[in-house]
């Protein structure tokens, strides 16, 4: 019987771990508190509109990530957007195929990890997770944002300083759907503004519906931090007013919503590619280990999985 591993978090880092462990013959169960996969590689649908309201695009430079991106491109799940890459038909598309052999458990918020005589147990606020392998997991990988990873690692008996060093900036994301094309002059804009850091016409990305205009606006870290506890409705109204002022757009959107990313942009990384305790068989990974890039999340998770498997495993 193969080892059975638990991975907490279904963002790029967690899926990279699950993918490589599965390819090496391990059984893997991935837990995530959300309903979908991909973490901040997220896509929201609203009628005919499709918004990439988290990560807007990604770059690929390293050999292993480039190889993955090339394979996903061949499958029609990734395409070029200018010099960068995007998921097709949305940023979440690649996440759905990264770990096809893993068991995915969504809508499950993990609250603690416990190591017993038979192996690791994963618990939620309602008690032990009701999944195959729980209580006998051979090892656990924590692949959630650092502020969420710290209490899980502590529950498992680890106080890794790297997770405590990592910090994030929040981000409010505004989604605007217009029936007709707006006055936005370019498909992506980085205005010099105290409130808005980024504006993108998502319909310009490959595989999107070009009718109407699906616009994503990201607030600056400073504004997002100052407005962190605002309601989505108030945040949306404030950002929409600023968008109007910056672009001169007077048409009213047929859809408007705001989403708060509490842990959006890595400001201070851990400074280590991942954490691994071989005696406890406990690891942690994420973009927060290396830097604020999708590829950094992949590298962290893929590198940790490679260390778990060992140097003699096939790459």
pLDDT in tens, 54-65: 999 999 999 999
Which residues are CB-neighbours of 276 under 8 A, at least 6 positions away?
282, 283, 304, 307, 308
Burial level of 111, CB count in 10 A (0-12/13-18/19+)?
Answer: middle
pLDDT at 25 over 90: yes
pLDDT in tens, 237-291: 999 999 999 999 999 999 999 999 999 999 999 999 999 999 999 999 999 999 9
pLDDT in tens, 295-314: 999 999 999 999 999 975 44
Torsion angle (degrees, nearest 10) of CA 289, 290, 291, 294: -90
Say whether 101 sits in a helix, a strand or coil.
coil
- Domains in the chain: boundaries: 4-37+98-166+269-309, 42-94+167-268
In this chain, the answer to whether the domains covering 4-37+98-166+269-309 and 42-94+167-268 adopt an identical fold is no
Fold classified for 42-94+167-268: Polyamine Oxidase; Chain A, domain 2 (3.90.660)
CATH of region 4-37+98-166+269-309: 3.50.50.60
Distance CA 310, CA 314 (A): 9
**pLDDT for 256:** 98
pLDDT bin (cut points 50, 70, 90) of residue 315 is: very low
Segments in 90-188 forming alpha helices (H) = 146-155, 161-165
Per-residue pLDDT, averaged over 65-78, amounts to 97
Please give the helix or strand (H or E) that residue 282 lies within, else none: strand 282-284
């Amino acid at each position: 019987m193969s080892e059975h591993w638990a991975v907490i978090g279904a963002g790029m880092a967690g899926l990279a771990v699950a993918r490589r462990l599965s390819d090496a013959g391990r059984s893997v169960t991935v837990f995530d508190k959300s309903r979908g996969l991909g973490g901040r590689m997220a896509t929201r649908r609203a009628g005919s509109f499709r918004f990439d309201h988290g990560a807007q695009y990604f770059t690929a430079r390293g050999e292993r990530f480039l190889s993955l991106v090339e394979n996903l491109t061949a499958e029609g799940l990734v395409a070029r957007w200018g010099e960068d890459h995007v998921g097709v038909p949305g940023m979440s598309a690649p996440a759905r195929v990264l770990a096809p052999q893993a068991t995915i458990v969504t809508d499950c918020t993990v609250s603690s990890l416990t190591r017993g005589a038979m192996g690791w147990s994963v618990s939620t606020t309602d008690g032990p997770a009701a999944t195959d392998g729980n209580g006998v997991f051979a090892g656990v990988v924590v692949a959630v944002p650092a502020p969420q990873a710290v209490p899980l690692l502590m529950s498992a008996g680890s106080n890794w300083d790297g997770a405590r060093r990592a910090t994030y900036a929040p981000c409010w994301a505004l989604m605007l759907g217009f029936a007709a094309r707006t006055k936005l002059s370019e498909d992506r804009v980085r205005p010099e503004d105290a409130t808005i850091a980024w504006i993108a016409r998502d319909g310009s990305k490959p595989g999107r519906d070009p009718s109407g205009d699906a616009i994503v606006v990201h607030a600056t870290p400073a504004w997002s931090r100052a407005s962190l506890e605002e309601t989505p409705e108030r945040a949306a109204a404030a950002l929409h007013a600023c968008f109007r002022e910056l672009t001169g757009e007077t048409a009213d959107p047929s859809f408007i919503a705001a989403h708060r990313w509490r842990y959006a942009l890595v400001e201070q990384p851990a400074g280590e590619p991942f954490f691994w305790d071989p005696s406890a068989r406990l690891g942690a990974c994420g973009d927060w280990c290396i830097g604020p890039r999708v590829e950094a999340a992949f590298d962290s998770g893929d590198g940790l999985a490679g260390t778990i498997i060992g140097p003699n495993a096939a790459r």
